[in-house]
Amino acid sequence: MIIEYPELIYFIARYSYEKRQIRRKNTRGGSRGYRGSRYRCESLEDCVMQIIIREAQPGDYQAIGELIRNELGYPQTDLEKLYSRLDRMKDDDEHMTIVADMNGETVGFIGVHKGIAYNIETEYIQVFAMAVNVELQNKGIGSRLFKWVDDYANENGVERVILTSRLHRLEAHAFYESRGYVIKSYGFMKEYK
């Protein structure tokens, strides 16, 4: 399933471009590039982000690994083992890894699992991971990934989506609540080494 929102993309691009133009006018020394960001634009056309939401392919695995390491805060992630798990998930009909592709570059992903529960009649979806490149956060990409989950749930008769989030990720909690998620329980974990 591919979802595109050209109006939203244009709005984001226009806002981003105008913001850069204002910054440029307020910067001494005239027109300078914006250091520190790979996502720069010199004209409105350059700013238009072509975001496609699609299923992950093996070519996306490295970017997913970097998002897990950098944005989710798991720098110790063994990438070769992750790639192997992603291959196994790709072959499993109950797991889905969905990416946000911006002009051919993977800039975000969401990983979900569809399962059966004891306490509800229909299947449920659990979001296991979601991340967007920090330089592109707050631009609607995470919302688009969750829109894919919403659409998938509606198309497949799923009545419940659940997720867990670490306690210190307060901005993520606010984002989830803005998407209609409510805090219902605590999650517990026990590790065996």
Q: Sketch out the chain's domains with CATH numbers.
A: 50-178 (3.40.630.30)
In the chain, what is the greatest distance between 2 CA atoms, to the nearest angstrom?
65
Contact 79, 62 (CB under 8 A): yes
Q: What is the CA radius of gyration of the chain?
A: 19
* Statement: residue 153 has pLDDT above 50: yes
Dist. CA 22–CA 28, nearest whole Å: 12
| Beta-bridge partner residues of 102 | 51, 105
How many residues are listed for the chain in this entry? 193
- Output the pLDDT for position 50: 82
Dist. CA 175–CA 134, nearest whole Å: 14
Dist. CA 56–CA 73, nearest whole Å: 21
Percent of the chain with pLDDT over 90: 55
pTM: 0.75
Taking residues 138-167, report their average pLDDT. Answer: 92
With H, G, I as helix, E, B as strand and everything else as coil, classify residue 89: helix
